[in-house]
Every structure is written in structure tokens, then in C-alpha cells.
Structure 1
């Protein structure tokens, strides 16, 4: 009996953070991975360290042309593509009134239209080949309005709505859909938030490591889980609170103060 060929992943935002941790974990599990990132130098350096099962390509996820090129390159290099992991995202911190309109637009274009473009591009290929798995790395901010990163939360709420709507449309087809909602994670994005007082709410709860997110992600892929919340013990309360704006307003001053104290402690520790 022939050995089953390892599955191939196209992973966006692969040069750092959750993406880099996911690439490393995927290789350890036997997957082959195309590391895609607008930071092509970082992606190539990481791919080189991971061996022959990893390859890298530059990808601006806002470009439909580059998406087609990345998908074609994956099929050409590995001979197949089984899983898309939409992970790439950006954040622009600051109170919404202070963030330039073009930065709000850039956040929505990158975090929503970028994954949407890639998902639709790969969906056609997956339907034609009769199998595939589309994985969306979203955020718990898709349930909770988040001061200081308002456009980021809005983009993630839109992304969750699109992911589930598409999954419902394709429910009788051959493609699996999984969406993961990490909590605050120790990534360059969180470091950016740490420097902006407006984003102190991000530190009201304990963060997790990108390695923990990656492990959770691949357990969900293996089980073909529809939706995963992080951390699971807090997810129900967060989702319920996110639908109760009156309660959020009553609690926010306290939560913001907790976040500010944690943020200040973090800054002090990094200057030691």
C-alpha cells in the first residue's frame, strides 16, 4: 500500500507571529507548507530553516493577481494544495477619531477583502479537485467591540460573517471550513498595541503564545472543527458581553483600568 502524500498548506502572514509558529508546527506534523507573506525576505529565511518541505513566496493579499500567482506556485512546487490558512492581518492603533481615514480603509482592505479574495480564488480550485479545507484565523474581537483598534475589530466581525455565510453556501460541496478566534497573542501586533494608550483594553486579560495558537489551530484542522474560541473558558462570557452594549459600558472603566495597569507593567519590564 502506498504511503499517503503529506497535505500541502498555503499559509499567509507566515513570516512572523502566529503565521511563523503555525509554519513550524505544520512542518513538525509532516505537512508541506508554502509560506506566503508581503515580507518575502522573512518568509524565505524561515522557509530555509524549515527544510525541503517548506517554500516561500511574496504575497500582498490585497492583490487578486498575486493570489493567483501564489496558488499556482504552490501547485507547481508541491504538486497539490489541500489547505488554505488565511492568517495575515494588520492593526492600526489609536482612537478612531484620530486614525486617518485611509488607515481605516487599509485595515478593512487587508483584514477582510484580503482573505475574501484568497478564499474565493482557492475555492474554485478546491471544488474542481473535489477536496480542500479553508481555515480563517479571525479574532475574539469579532464578538467584542474593541476600543483603540476599532477598525481591526470591525474587519474581523466582517470576516467571521463572510466565512460562515460562504460555508453555508458551500455546505453540500467538498470543501471544509474552519474558523479560529485567538485572544490577545504575543506577536509583533500586540507589541504595537502595547505602545498605544488607546489600545490598553487588549491587556485586560492574559495573552497566549503564538505556539499555543498554532497547536490549537492544527487540532481544529485535524478534527475539521467548525469554530474554535480562545481561551475556551472565557469565550462564552466574552461572546455574551459583546452583545450587551449597556453592560459593556458599565464594565469598561474597570476593564480599561486593569488593561492600563498591565500595559504599564509590560512597558516597565521591557525597559529593564
Structure 2
């Protein structure tokens, strides 16, 4: 690695597994210090131990403002500052209109949309103090185009795309950039059973699912000063799924 994130301190939500763990490993390899936030305490602590002194785990339920406050305080107290926030935590569930419940709807939005808002709220002052800083919101290809039967997830990811833009406009004068990343089908636990992943393979121009590391490469770029002129934009990593029909 080339130490592209040398001296940076990042807080990554949902970082105990999947794409979040991929981001955490790459950030440390690129010279950053990382706060791993997740509700999976055992997996998160194990990853932090694997990464050594450059990483620390904190329990983070993204729907709880108090957990976010503690995570930000952990970054500042352990590493001296916070200049990168990666809102990665999210859930995916599905169900047709008519049977999908209000409880399911509220639960999905509380994690996928309210969570990033609470993260921005908790981290704002620390990010401004450490500027130039970067926020990377992990949305989805479902935040670019609709997906039938996946209503709350789609709505939450479109909402996160909008939150990214409003936050980018507000925070730019304070030295904080905010961008969104929109993965397509990626080989992570979120995709569920192997049968579902097989169906997704033909849904893009490259005829395969993506790897977490292929998303991570973009997240590293957006977290680094290499992307200093990038703000309020959507970055799609979907193998051409949203490009249109051939």
C-alpha cells in the first residue's frame, strides 16, 4: 500500500464484517487509524485486534445518538481527531406493498437513513475541527434506480443520496466534503442465500457480482486528499447495472 491515508482518523459504521471490514483493513493498510463501529461486539473486537494499535472497536447502534457520541469521543480521545466518517451500516429486506409492514419500514429507515444523519450530527464538530475532512455515505444502486419489492431499502438509499447533497452544500464552507457511493450486487452477507446471488449475476454488463474490495478502492479515494475537488457527487460501483439496457 502507498499510505494514501497517512495520519487520517476514520470512524466506520457497520465495520465488523462485509464491506465495512474491507474498508477498515484497507484504511489501516493505507496508514489511517480506524474506529470500528458495529453492534456485532465479538466480530468487531476481533477485527480491531487483528489490525493492531491502529484500530479500536466501539459498540455502535447507528439508531442511537448516544452511541454515535461515544464513537466520536473514542476517535478523538484515542487518536486525537476525526477527519473521515464512513456511514456504511445498513440492512436490506424486501416485501410487496400490502404485506410489508410499517414496523419493517421504520426499522429499515432508522438504520439506513436516520443512522447516517445521526452520524453526521455527532461527528460534525470534530470533522470541522480536523478539516479538510471527508464523509463517505454508502448508498446503493437502489439509490439511483427503483427496485420492485424493496421499497424501504430503495427509499432509504434515495434519501441518503439526498442527505449527501444537502450536507455537502452546508459543510463545504467548513472544509468538509460529503459524497455517496452506490454499490450494485456485492458479495457480502447482506445478499443472503447463494440462490439470491446467482440471480444477481446477470443483472449487469460484467455478468458477475462485485467484491467488497472493489468498493473499498473508491472509498479510500474519497477519504483521501486525492479527491479534494469531489463534493456532493454520486459514485456508482455496479458493473454497469444502472447504465441502461443493452
Shared fold (TM-score, shorter chain, > 0.5) = yes
Report the equivalent of 1:139: 140
Is 1:149 the counterpart of 2:150 in the alignment? Answer: yes
Which 5+ residue runs of structure 1 have no aligned equivalent?
A: 242-250, 252-272
1:24-173 map, 5 Å: 24-173=25-174
CA offsets per residue over residues 87-106 of structure 1, 9 Å max, x none?
Answer: 00011123233222201110
CA offsets per residue over residues 174-200 of structure 1, 9 Å max, x none?
Answer: 11222111111111111259559xxx6
CA offsets per residue over residues 204-242 of structure 1, 9 Å max, x none?
Answer: 23320111111121123223233311147554x25xx8x
TM-score (norm 2): 0.86
Is 1:229 the counterpart of 2:236 in the alignment? Answer: yes
Structure 2 contact 12–37 (Cα < 8 Å) conserved = yes
Stretch of structure 1 that moved more, 119-128 or 157-166: 119-128
Report the equivalent of 2:181: 180
Residue from 191, 194, 207 that aligns with 2:209: 207
Distance (whole Å) between structure 2 residues aligned to residue 201 and residue 95 of structure 1: 19
Structure 2 contact 184–241 (Cα < 8 Å) conserved = no
Report the equivalent of 1:262: none
Counterpart secondary structure, 2:53: coil
In the TM superposition, structure 1's runs of 4+ consecutive aligned residues that sit over 3 Å from their partners are 128-131, 192-196, 200-203, 231-235
Distance 1:37 1:192, change over 3 A: farther
Distance (whole Å) between structure 1 residues aligned to residue 38 and residue 202 of structure 2: 27
More helix by share: 1
Structure 2 contact 82–130 (Cα < 8 Å) conserved = no
Distance (whole Å) between structure 2 residues aligned to residue 129 and residue 50 of structure 1: 24
Q: Pairwise CA RMSD of aligned residues?
A: 2.5
Distance (whole Å) between structure 2 residues aligned to residue 55 and residue 138 of structure 1: 25
Distance (whole Å) between structure 2 residues aligned to residue 130 and residue 213 of structure 1: 24
Report the equivalent of 2:10: 9
TM-score (norm 1): 0.79
Distance (whole Å) between structure 2 residues aligned to residue 155 and residue 193 of structure 1: 25
Aligned residue-pair number: 234
Which 5+ residue runs of structure 2 have no aligned equivalent?
A: none
